[in-house]
Amino acid sequence: MTQPPGFESSDSSLVCKLHRSIYGLKQAPHTWYDKLTSTLVSFGFVHNKCDPSLLILTTAYDCVYVLIYVGDIIFTGSSVVLLQSIISKLHVVFSLKQLGDLEYFLGIEVKHLPDGSLLLCQTKYIRDLLVKAGMTKAKGISTPLQGGLKLSKYGSDYFDDPAL
């Protein structure tokens, strides 16, 4: 270890004792998010007005999107060179692990098509829900309601298991 900036002593063998790491604190995720977003803002990114976890960098010719969810970061954009440049800059500040092409995120499957486009679907998520509800043998129908069902504003029969 070395002495932190601003706390240098003439004896270089002295260092600060770490009483508690940031990863054990309740505010660690918030602190990490603030550090990451402030770094991205310093690169020229701006927060999306509707979703603060989405940051956008727009240049004269290219656009880069960064989506942050807990410890996962998704990068996409119109320029591979610009994307690699941003990832390299982030790698200087943070220890990054690139997991390759996106395949599954927040219940959404991402399929890479031969023409370079992406297909987003929730097939796996729906299958997992059917398994959880014990409905894997259920047959699909065009409408979720039974035919001829009379609806009433006064309620209906209670569910056997309201959790499902």
Q: Looking at residue 24, what DSSP letter applies?
A: G
User: pTM here?
Assistant: 0.62
Residue 110 class from Cβ within 10 Å (0-12 exposed, 13-18 middle, 19+ buried)?
Answer: middle
CA-closest candidate to residue 34, choices 50, 47, 15, 49: 47
Structure tokens at 68: 């942050």
62-109 pLDDT, tens digit each? 999 999 887 788 888 888 899 899 988 988 888 878 788 888 888 889
Cα distance between residue 122 and residue 124, in whole Å: 6
Q: CA torsion angle for 42, 100, 113, 84 (degrees, to 10)?
A: 40
Q: What domains, with CATH codes, occur in the chain?
A: 15-100 (3.30.310), 102-136 (no CATH)
